[in-house]
Amino acid sequence: MMIRTPCKSEGCSATILPTTAEKTGGYCMPCRQETERQKRQQYIKDHRRDVDLYEGINDPVEILKIMHNRPPYDPLIKFIPYELNKEQLYISLTEEDTDRMLTYAMNLLDSGDEDTSQDILLSLVCYKNKSLATSIPVFINRDIYYPGILFKDASVEARDQLLNRVEHDTDNRNHLLLALAWIGDEQIVQRFREWRESPPPWVEETYVTPDTYTHEAGWKLNEDGERENLFHEFSYAIEKLKEVEDSSIEASEPLTLLTESSHTCQWCGGKMTTLLDFKVSHPTFLFLSMSGERLKLETCVKCSCYGVMYMDVDSNGESRWSTYNQRPDYLPVCNIEDYDNQHVSASKSFRLASKSRNSYYAAHWTLEPTVSQVGGHPTWIQDAEYPVCPCCSKRMIFFSQLDWGEVVEYGEGIYYMFICSDCRITATSFQQS
């Protein structure tokens, strides 16, 4: 029987074979590995250096190029972040700068770096509403049809090419339909109408009916076969403040966020939350064309994660539980005491931006834009899901969204808010990655 010896590490109760002790100097392998790890960490600490990749560079285009092509991780180097993030830099670009970034993106595409090229192209389209019409023929020649938003300003010639290809290109048909939906001109509306009235043979190969693809681009075919937008083109960011402002400033704001409602959720028994309480009559919200002085959008932040939650709104803008609500098939048993009101304490940390922004600014969530907003195109994390009004059976109009990652610590996902102005019903849904 071979005799095992105790590990030399103080406090370690492990025993090791003599052959192991000879290799490790008398330490068990876990202790030896921990010692090596500590040595490595100390070496990194002693030798790590700061590197500023942006030192002496003032051109925002050159700075963005560096951001999009950061060197691989090196534990011995700490890269000093630039004072502005990508989003802020893209906003600051001049028209000449956006042209330069577009040229750079297309050069990357030619070199085979499709991922970085796509990231830049999406940034130009969403943050700057940059037309990619001159680049779309290149996408078509390379069989690149996704993301569809890149095609929204396509020329008539490019549009006709896509309409022709969608009839026979089985491999790319789903992406082609999305690209066509984003173009969305009269000719395309007519074609989607025809596909709805007389489904083509290939409809069985698609994930959903052809006219459903239009929802991804923020519009639908109404009963008469005409285009109707599902979002408001005016868009105002809901900005997170670095410092909480005083109550006098808050009182003058047209929008109040995240306050506790007096109503109770009839699914879990917990307190409802007023996600938004806004002054309808304020000039900022004239684009809504709504009557009344105020409007409250309420939900249960726990239960609406599992299904659409509807609220009826009276003439004074007050919300109440809707009889149209249907309990989700799956709804976990909630212990109300396990939930805190952390989100309510964040109510004074946000403010509505004073200036509107591009409708498609936050249309693509992978760019990590400032997501919380009123109006604009929604930031779908999954598929586009505009709820159907339970009263009139029409698709509800997107109104607002809140990025829960900014609201609570370790939060994630987005709460989406919709409204049917005719029926005075609101709806809330939730998506996360």
- Quick one: pLDDT band at residue 290, thresholds 50, 70, 90? confident
Query: Residue 278 in 3-state DSSP?
Result: strand
What is the structure's pLDDT at 336?
64
pLDDT-above-90 percentage for the chain: 69
CA 101, distance to chain mean position in Å, is: 23
Q: Domain coordinates of the chain in residue numbers?
A: 5-79, 131-229, 235-244+252-431
Task: Give dist(CA 103, CA 119) in Å, integer.
Answer: 14
Confidence of residue 81 (pLDDT cuts 50, 70, 90): very high
Euclidean distance between CA atoms 182 and 163, whole angstroms: 13
SS3 of residue 51 by DSSP: strand
Residue 248 is predicted with a pLDDT of: 47
Residues in CB range of 202: below 8 A, 6 or more apart? 167, 170, 173
Q: For the chain, what is the largest distance between any 2 Cα atoms, rounded to a whole number of angstroms?
A: 90
**Whole-number mean pLDDT of the chain?**
91
Cis peptide before 147 (omega within 30 of 0): yes
Rounded to an integer, the average pLDDT of 276-280 is 88
Which 3 state secondary structure label does DSSP give 215? Answer: helix
Give the tens place of pLDDT for each residue, 8-27: 898 899 888 888 888 888 99
Mean pLDDT of 20-37: 90
State how far the Cα of 146 lies from the Cα of 172, in Å rounded to an integer. 9
247 has a pLDDT exceeding 70 = no
Please provide the size of the chain in residues.
433
The reported pLDDT for the residue numbered 245 is: 58
Instruction: Find the mean pLDDT for residues 168-187.
Output: 96
**What's the pTM value of the predicted model, to 2 decimals?**
0.88
d(CA 111, CA 108): 5
Strands 77-79 and 49-51: parallel
pLDDT of res. 1: 57
Q: Which two tokens stand for residue 157?
A: 């010639």
Residues 344-354 have a mean pLDDT of 84
Mean pLDDT comparison of 71-85, 338-352, 387-401, highest-scoring range: 387-401
Q: Are 430 and 305 in contact (CB under 8 A)?
A: yes
Confidence of residue 237 (pLDDT cuts 50, 70, 90): very high
For the segment 330-339, what is each residue's pLDDT rounded down to a tens digit? Answer: 887 776 666 6
Please name the residues in contact with 9: beta carbons below 8 A apart, sequence gap of 6 or more: 27, 28, 31
DSSP reduced 3-state for 139: helix
Looking at per-residue confidence, does 408 or 156 come out higher? 156
Q: Could you tell me which of 313, 311, 273, 322 has the C-alpha nearest to residue 290?
A: 313
Q: What angle is formed at CA 35 by the lines to CA 30 and CA 38, rounded to 5 degrees?
A: 125
User: How many angstroms separate the CA atoms of 326 and 159, rounded?
Assistant: 42
**What is the average pLDDT across 122-151?**
96
Say whether pLDDT at 250 is over 60. Answer: no
Q: Positive or negative, the Cα torsion across 401, 355, 377, 141?
A: negative
Strand, helix or coil for residue 205: helix
